[in-house]
Amino acid sequence: MLLATLTLAVSACAAAEADLSGVLETVRAKHGLPALGAAVLKGGKVVAIGAVGKRRLGDSEAVTVDDRWHLGSLTKAMTATLVARLVERGRLRWDMTLGEAFPAFAPKMHAGYRAVTLERLLTHFGGVPADVPPELWSELWRMQGTPTEQRLTLVRGLAVEKPGPDAFLYSNAGYALAGAMAEAREEKPWETLLKIHVLAPLGMTSTGFRAPEGHHPWGHAWRDGKAVPVPPGPQADNPPGIAPAGAVHATLRDWAKFALLHLEGAQGKARLLRPQTFSKLHMAPLGQVHGMGWIIVNRPWAGGRALTHAGSNTMWYAVVWLAPEKDFGVLVATNLGGGPAEKAADEAAAALIEKWCPR
Protein backbone atom coordinates (compact mmCIF):
# COMPACT_ATOMS: atom_id res chain seq x y z
CA MET A 1 0.00 0.00 0.00
CA LEU A 2 2.82 2.40 0.93
CA LEU A 3 4.69 1.61 -2.30
CA ALA A 4 1.53 2.26 -4.33
CA THR A 5 1.03 5.59 -2.57
CA LEU A 6 4.60 6.63 -3.26
CA THR A 7 4.31 5.60 -6.89
CA LEU A 8 1.14 7.67 -7.30
CA ALA A 9 2.84 10.64 -5.64
CA VAL A 10 5.82 10.46 -8.00
CA SER A 11 3.52 10.11 -11.02
CA ALA A 12 1.46 13.09 -9.93
CA CYS A 13 4.60 15.18 -9.49
CA ALA A 14 5.86 14.24 -12.94
CA ALA A 15 2.46 14.94 -14.47
CA ALA A 16 2.45 18.41 -12.94
CA GLU A 17 5.46 19.41 -15.07
CA ALA A 18 4.38 20.50 -18.54
CA ASP A 19 6.47 19.33 -21.50
CA LEU A 20 8.37 22.08 -23.34
CA SER A 21 9.55 19.85 -26.17
CA GLY A 22 7.34 21.43 -28.81
CA VAL A 23 8.52 25.01 -28.45
CA LEU A 24 12.12 23.90 -27.90
CA GLU A 25 12.21 21.72 -31.00
CA THR A 26 10.95 24.60 -33.12
CA VAL A 27 13.83 26.79 -31.93
CA ARG A 28 16.43 24.00 -32.06
CA ALA A 29 15.56 23.03 -35.63
CA LYS A 30 15.44 26.64 -36.82
CA HIS A 31 18.97 27.36 -35.59
CA GLY A 32 20.53 23.92 -36.15
CA LEU A 33 21.50 23.31 -32.53
CA PRO A 34 22.64 19.84 -31.45
CA ALA A 35 20.34 19.99 -28.42
CA LEU A 36 18.33 22.45 -26.35
CA GLY A 37 16.95 22.17 -22.81
CA ALA A 38 14.86 24.48 -20.66
CA ALA A 39 12.82 24.76 -17.49
CA VAL A 40 10.17 27.19 -16.25
CA LEU A 41 9.93 28.11 -12.56
CA LYS A 42 6.80 29.33 -10.80
CA GLY A 43 5.52 29.10 -7.26
CA GLY A 44 8.78 27.74 -5.90
CA LYS A 45 9.03 24.76 -8.24
CA VAL A 46 9.64 23.59 -11.79
CA VAL A 47 6.30 23.76 -13.62
CA ALA A 48 7.54 22.95 -17.13
CA ILE A 49 10.64 21.25 -18.48
CA GLY A 50 11.96 19.81 -21.71
CA ALA A 51 15.01 18.72 -23.68
CA VAL A 52 15.24 18.04 -27.41
CA GLY A 53 17.93 17.08 -29.89
CA LYS A 54 20.99 14.86 -29.75
CA ARG A 55 23.70 14.48 -27.15
CA ARG A 56 26.19 14.96 -29.95
CA LEU A 57 25.96 15.49 -33.66
CA GLY A 58 26.52 12.32 -35.65
CA ASP A 59 25.12 10.13 -32.89
CA SER A 60 21.61 8.78 -32.34
CA GLU A 61 21.39 9.30 -28.56
CA ALA A 62 18.68 11.80 -27.70
CA VAL A 63 19.04 14.19 -24.79
CA THR A 64 16.80 13.82 -21.75
CA VAL A 65 15.65 16.18 -19.01
CA ASP A 66 18.04 14.35 -16.67
CA ASP A 67 21.12 15.15 -18.74
CA ARG A 68 23.76 17.56 -17.47
CA TRP A 69 24.53 20.93 -19.09
CA HIS A 70 27.63 23.06 -18.68
CA LEU A 71 26.66 26.43 -17.17
CA GLY A 72 29.77 28.49 -17.86
CA SER A 73 29.72 31.87 -16.13
CA LEU A 74 26.52 31.05 -14.27
CA THR A 75 29.05 29.46 -11.91
CA LYS A 76 29.91 33.00 -10.76
CA ALA A 77 26.63 33.34 -8.85
CA MET A 78 27.45 30.05 -7.09
CA THR A 79 30.92 31.26 -6.12
CA ALA A 80 29.42 34.50 -4.82
CA THR A 81 26.87 32.49 -2.83
CA LEU A 82 29.66 30.36 -1.36
CA VAL A 83 31.58 33.48 -0.33
CA ALA A 84 28.42 34.96 1.19
CA ARG A 85 27.90 31.80 3.29
CA LEU A 86 31.46 32.07 4.58
CA VAL A 87 31.03 35.78 5.30
CA GLU A 88 27.90 35.07 7.35
CA ARG A 89 29.87 32.50 9.31
CA GLY A 90 32.67 34.95 10.03
CA ARG A 91 35.18 32.99 7.98
CA LEU A 92 35.58 35.70 5.34
CA ARG A 93 34.83 39.44 5.17
CA TRP A 94 33.62 41.45 2.21
CA ASP A 95 36.50 43.87 2.85
CA MET A 96 39.13 41.12 3.24
CA THR A 97 42.05 41.92 0.98
CA LEU A 98 44.09 39.69 -1.28
CA GLY A 99 47.11 40.50 0.88
CA GLU A 100 45.30 39.30 4.02
CA ALA A 101 44.29 36.06 2.33
CA PHE A 102 47.86 35.31 1.22
CA PRO A 103 50.10 36.89 3.89
CA ALA A 104 53.20 34.91 2.93
CA PHE A 105 52.99 36.18 -0.64
CA ALA A 106 51.70 39.67 0.19
CA PRO A 107 55.15 41.37 0.24
CA LYS A 108 55.68 40.35 -3.40
CA MET A 109 52.29 41.67 -4.53
CA HIS A 110 51.84 45.00 -6.23
CA ALA A 111 50.33 47.40 -3.69
CA GLY A 112 47.18 47.70 -5.79
CA TYR A 113 46.51 43.97 -5.77
CA ARG A 114 47.51 43.65 -2.13
CA ALA A 115 44.69 46.05 -1.21
CA VAL A 116 41.96 44.72 -3.52
CA THR A 117 38.98 43.35 -1.58
CA LEU A 118 36.81 40.29 -1.98
CA GLU A 119 33.77 42.46 -2.68
CA ARG A 120 35.51 44.35 -5.47
CA LEU A 121 36.62 41.10 -7.10
CA LEU A 122 33.04 39.81 -7.07
CA THR A 123 31.65 43.02 -8.60
CA HIS A 124 34.37 43.17 -11.31
CA PHE A 125 36.00 46.26 -9.79
CA GLY A 126 39.24 44.58 -8.73
CA GLY A 127 41.41 45.84 -11.60
CA VAL A 128 41.87 42.24 -12.76
CA PRO A 129 42.32 41.96 -16.56
CA ALA A 130 39.50 40.73 -18.75
CA ASP A 131 41.90 38.25 -20.34
CA VAL A 132 44.63 36.36 -18.52
CA PRO A 133 48.03 37.35 -19.98
CA PRO A 134 49.07 34.84 -22.70
CA GLU A 135 52.09 33.36 -20.89
CA LEU A 136 50.12 32.84 -17.68
CA TRP A 137 47.17 31.45 -19.63
CA SER A 138 49.47 28.92 -21.30
CA GLU A 139 50.81 27.93 -17.89
CA LEU A 140 47.28 27.34 -16.61
CA TRP A 141 46.58 25.13 -19.62
CA ARG A 142 49.46 22.89 -18.58
CA MET A 143 47.28 22.01 -15.57
CA GLN A 144 50.20 21.24 -13.29
CA GLY A 145 49.33 20.38 -9.70
CA THR A 146 45.92 20.33 -8.05
CA PRO A 147 43.19 22.79 -9.05
CA THR A 148 43.97 24.76 -5.87
CA GLU A 149 47.65 24.90 -6.81
CA GLN A 150 46.70 26.05 -10.29
CA ARG A 151 44.68 28.90 -8.80
CA LEU A 152 47.67 29.84 -6.67
CA THR A 153 49.66 30.01 -9.88
CA LEU A 154 47.09 32.51 -11.13
CA VAL A 155 47.31 34.56 -7.93
CA ARG A 156 51.11 34.70 -8.10
CA GLY A 157 51.14 35.46 -11.81
CA LEU A 158 48.63 38.32 -11.64
CA ALA A 159 49.25 39.95 -8.28
CA VAL A 160 52.86 40.98 -8.97
CA GLU A 161 51.70 43.22 -11.82
CA LYS A 162 50.02 46.60 -11.59
CA PRO A 163 46.21 46.17 -11.55
CA GLY A 164 43.98 47.94 -14.01
CA PRO A 165 42.08 51.16 -13.30
CA ASP A 166 39.49 51.47 -10.55
CA ALA A 167 36.60 50.82 -12.93
CA PHE A 168 34.28 48.03 -14.01
CA LEU A 169 35.97 45.32 -16.06
CA TYR A 170 34.32 41.91 -16.42
CA SER A 171 36.93 39.36 -15.38
CA ASN A 172 36.87 35.59 -15.07
CA ALA A 173 40.24 35.74 -13.34
CA GLY A 174 38.78 38.04 -10.69
CA TYR A 175 36.34 35.32 -9.66
CA ALA A 176 39.15 32.77 -9.67
CA LEU A 177 41.05 35.01 -7.23
CA ALA A 178 37.96 35.22 -5.01
CA GLY A 179 37.69 31.43 -5.05
CA ALA A 180 41.37 31.16 -4.17
CA MET A 181 40.83 33.48 -1.19
CA ALA A 182 38.10 31.15 0.11
CA GLU A 183 40.41 28.17 -0.39
CA ALA A 184 43.23 29.87 1.52
CA ARG A 185 40.96 30.73 4.45
CA GLU A 186 39.25 27.34 4.70
CA GLU A 187 42.17 25.15 3.57
CA LYS A 188 39.87 23.21 1.25
CA PRO A 189 39.50 23.25 -2.55
CA TRP A 190 36.86 25.56 -4.02
CA GLU A 191 35.09 22.51 -5.45
CA THR A 192 34.79 20.95 -1.99
CA LEU A 193 33.66 24.22 -0.41
CA LEU A 194 30.97 24.67 -3.05
CA LYS A 195 29.68 21.16 -2.39
CA ILE A 196 29.62 21.69 1.39
CA HIS A 197 28.10 25.16 1.52
CA VAL A 198 25.89 25.38 -1.59
CA LEU A 199 25.31 22.17 -3.53
CA ALA A 200 24.66 19.77 -0.64
CA PRO A 201 22.31 22.08 1.31
CA LEU A 202 20.25 22.59 -1.85
CA GLY A 203 20.18 18.88 -2.71
CA MET A 204 22.05 19.44 -5.96
CA THR A 205 23.25 15.85 -6.23
CA SER A 206 23.57 15.82 -10.03
CA THR A 207 25.92 18.80 -10.23
CA GLY A 208 29.63 18.57 -10.96
CA PHE A 209 32.62 20.34 -12.44
CA ARG A 210 34.01 20.84 -15.94
CA ALA A 211 32.39 19.20 -18.96
CA PRO A 212 30.03 16.34 -18.07
CA GLU A 213 31.24 12.82 -18.80
CA GLY A 214 29.46 9.53 -19.36
CA HIS A 215 26.00 9.35 -20.94
CA HIS A 216 25.44 13.09 -21.17
CA PRO A 217 25.67 15.66 -23.96
CA TRP A 218 28.98 16.71 -25.45
CA GLY A 219 29.80 20.34 -26.00
CA HIS A 220 30.13 21.61 -29.55
CA ALA A 221 32.48 24.31 -30.80
CA TRP A 222 31.48 26.51 -33.75
CA ARG A 223 34.17 26.10 -36.40
CA ASP A 224 34.05 27.18 -40.03
CA GLY A 225 30.33 27.76 -39.86
CA LYS A 226 29.34 24.45 -38.32
CA ALA A 227 29.03 22.74 -34.94
CA VAL A 228 31.86 20.32 -34.12
CA PRO A 229 31.46 17.91 -31.17
CA VAL A 230 34.17 18.06 -28.50
CA PRO A 231 34.61 14.84 -26.47
CA PRO A 232 34.86 15.09 -22.67
CA GLY A 233 38.41 15.58 -21.47
CA PRO A 234 40.99 18.28 -20.78
CA GLN A 235 40.14 20.24 -23.93
CA ALA A 236 36.40 20.22 -23.27
CA ASP A 237 36.51 23.09 -20.80
CA ASN A 238 38.66 25.97 -19.60
CA PRO A 239 41.53 25.08 -17.22
CA PRO A 240 40.66 24.40 -13.55
CA GLY A 241 42.68 27.46 -12.59
CA ILE A 242 39.67 29.65 -13.37
CA ALA A 243 36.97 27.16 -12.34
CA PRO A 244 35.30 29.51 -9.80
CA ALA A 245 34.38 31.72 -12.75
CA GLY A 246 32.75 29.06 -14.91
CA ALA A 247 33.17 25.31 -14.48
CA VAL A 248 29.89 23.95 -13.06
CA HIS A 249 27.62 21.55 -14.91
CA ALA A 250 24.16 20.48 -13.71
CA THR A 251 20.88 18.92 -14.69
CA LEU A 252 18.02 21.31 -15.38
CA ARG A 253 16.34 20.37 -12.09
CA ASP A 254 19.52 20.88 -10.08
CA TRP A 255 20.13 24.22 -11.76
CA ALA A 256 16.53 25.12 -10.93
CA LYS A 257 17.20 24.50 -7.23
CA PHE A 258 19.91 27.14 -7.25
CA ALA A 259 17.84 29.55 -9.34
CA LEU A 260 14.88 29.19 -6.97
CA LEU A 261 17.14 29.99 -4.03
CA HIS A 262 17.97 33.35 -5.58
CA LEU A 263 14.44 33.97 -6.81
CA GLU A 264 13.21 33.57 -3.23
CA GLY A 265 16.14 35.57 -1.89
CA ALA A 266 15.26 38.44 -4.22
CA GLN A 267 11.78 38.36 -2.67
CA GLY A 268 13.24 38.90 0.80
CA LYS A 269 13.00 35.28 1.93
CA ALA A 270 15.74 33.77 4.09
CA ARG A 271 17.09 30.40 2.98
CA LEU A 272 20.78 29.52 3.31
CA LEU A 273 21.45 33.27 3.48
CA ARG A 274 19.93 36.24 5.29
CA PRO A 275 17.70 38.61 3.29
CA GLN A 276 20.25 41.43 3.63
CA THR A 277 22.94 39.17 2.19
CA PHE A 278 20.80 38.36 -0.84
CA SER A 279 20.24 42.10 -1.26
CA LYS A 280 23.99 42.63 -1.34
CA LEU A 281 24.50 39.90 -3.94
CA HIS A 282 21.70 41.32 -6.08
CA MET A 283 22.79 44.97 -5.94
CA ALA A 284 24.96 46.52 -8.63
CA PRO A 285 27.42 49.33 -7.86
CA LEU A 286 26.13 52.78 -8.78
CA GLY A 287 25.92 53.19 -12.54
CA GLN A 288 26.49 49.49 -13.25
CA VAL A 289 24.27 46.46 -13.89
CA HIS A 290 26.52 43.70 -12.55
CA GLY A 291 25.98 42.54 -8.99
CA MET A 292 27.77 39.48 -7.62
CA GLY A 293 27.22 36.85 -10.29
CA TRP A 294 24.02 38.50 -11.50
CA ILE A 295 23.08 41.24 -13.96
CA ILE A 296 20.29 43.40 -12.59
CA VAL A 297 17.96 45.06 -15.10
CA ASN A 298 14.38 46.29 -15.36
CA ARG A 299 11.97 44.59 -17.76
CA PRO A 300 8.26 45.35 -18.26
CA TRP A 301 7.37 41.65 -18.52
CA ALA A 302 9.07 41.07 -15.14
CA GLY A 303 7.02 43.78 -13.46
CA GLY A 304 10.24 45.66 -12.70
CA ARG A 305 13.52 44.16 -11.60
CA ALA A 306 14.89 41.05 -13.29
CA LEU A 307 18.01 39.04 -12.51
CA THR A 308 19.84 37.45 -15.40
CA HIS A 309 23.19 36.09 -16.54
CA ALA A 310 24.52 33.99 -19.37
CA GLY A 311 27.44 31.61 -19.53
CA SER A 312 29.55 29.87 -22.14
CA ASN A 313 32.88 28.06 -22.20
CA THR A 314 32.72 28.39 -26.04
CA MET A 315 31.28 24.86 -26.34
CA TRP A 316 28.03 25.34 -24.40
CA TYR A 317 25.68 28.23 -23.77
CA ALA A 318 23.22 28.82 -20.92
CA VAL A 319 21.07 31.73 -19.76
CA VAL A 320 18.80 32.38 -16.77
CA TRP A 321 16.09 34.99 -16.20
CA LEU A 322 14.41 35.55 -12.81
CA ALA A 323 11.46 37.89 -12.18
CA PRO A 324 10.99 38.26 -8.39
CA GLU A 325 7.81 40.36 -8.69
CA LYS A 326 6.19 37.62 -10.79
CA ASP A 327 7.70 34.70 -8.80
CA PHE A 328 8.88 33.41 -12.15
CA GLY A 329 12.05 32.13 -13.80
CA VAL A 330 13.33 30.60 -17.03
CA LEU A 331 16.45 28.48 -17.63
CA VAL A 332 17.74 27.64 -21.12
CA ALA A 333 20.83 25.66 -22.13
CA THR A 334 22.34 24.27 -25.32
CA ASN A 335 25.38 22.12 -25.99
CA LEU A 336 26.75 24.58 -28.55
CA GLY A 337 28.93 27.60 -27.96
CA GLY A 338 29.22 30.35 -30.55
CA GLY A 339 27.42 30.56 -33.86
CA PRO A 340 23.64 30.66 -33.36
CA ALA A 341 23.73 29.49 -29.71
CA GLU A 342 23.12 32.83 -28.00
CA LYS A 343 20.40 33.96 -30.39
CA ALA A 344 18.63 30.60 -30.16
CA ALA A 345 18.76 30.51 -26.35
CA ASP A 346 17.40 34.05 -26.15
CA GLU A 347 14.65 33.16 -28.61
CA ALA A 348 13.68 30.13 -26.54
CA ALA A 349 13.71 32.18 -23.33
CA ALA A 350 11.53 34.85 -24.93
CA ALA A 351 9.01 32.26 -26.14
CA LEU A 352 8.79 30.69 -22.68
CA ILE A 353 8.42 34.08 -21.00
CA GLU A 354 5.66 35.00 -23.43
CA LYS A 355 3.75 31.79 -22.73
CA TRP A 356 4.41 31.21 -19.04
CA CYS A 357 5.13 34.47 -17.27
CA PRO A 358 2.10 35.77 -15.30
CA ARG A 359 0.60 38.97 -16.69
Q: Which of 192, 219, 241 is the last residue of a domain?
A: 192
Q: Which of 153, 168, 192 is the last residue of a domain?
A: 192
| pLDDT averages per 10-residue partition of the chain, 359 residues | 41 69 98 98 97 96 97 98 98 98 97 97 97 96 97 97 94 98 98 98 98 95 96 95 98 98 98 98 93 98 98 98 98 97 98 95
The reported pTM is 0.95
Q: How far is CA 114 from CA 99, 135, 160, 331, in A?
A: 4, 22, 9, 38
User: Is 20 found in the same domain as 103?
Assistant: no
User: Is 344 found in the same domain as 225?
Assistant: yes
**Is residue 141 one of the residues assigned to a domain?**
yes
pLDDT in tens, 97-133: 999 999 999 999 999 999 999 999 999 999 999 999 9
User: Is 346 found in the same domain as 210?
Assistant: yes
Predicted confidence at residue 231, as pLDDT, reads 96
User: Is 241 found in the same domain as 157?
Assistant: no
**Is residue 8 one of the residues assigned to a domain?**
no
**Is residue 249 one of the residues assigned to a domain?**
yes
User: Is 268 found in the same domain as 152?
Assistant: no
Helices (DSSP H) in the chain: which residue ranges? 2-16, 21-31, 75-88, 98-101, 111-114, 118-122, 134-141, 147-159, 172-186, 190-194, 200-202, 243-246, 252-265, 275-281, 341-356
User: Is 338 found in the same domain as 236?
Assistant: yes
**Is residue 172 one of the residues assigned to a domain?**
yes
Predicted confidence at residue 9, as pLDDT, reads 41
User: Is 178 found in the same domain as 51?
Assistant: no
Into how many domains does the chain fold?
2
User: Is 61 found in the same domain as 94?
Assistant: no
**Is residue 166 one of the residues assigned to a domain?**
yes
**Is residue 146 one of the residues assigned to a domain?**
yes
Select from 246, 245, 238 the least CA-distant residue to 141.
238
**Is residue 9 one of the residues assigned to a domain?**
no
Predicted confidence at residue 286, as pLDDT, reads 85
Residue 342 φ/ψ region, left for φ over 0, alpha for ψ in the -120 to 50 degree band, beta for the rest: alpha
Predicted confidence at residue 90, as pLDDT, reads 98
CATH number of the domain to which 242 belongs: 3.40.710.10
Q: Which of 162, 192, 222 is the last residue of a domain?
A: 192
Predicted confidence at residue 13, as pLDDT, reads 47
**Which residue range(s) make up the domain with 83?**
77-192
User: Is 224 found in the same domain as 188?
Assistant: no
User: Is 102 found in the same domain as 157?
Assistant: yes
Predicted confidence at residue 28, as pLDDT, reads 98
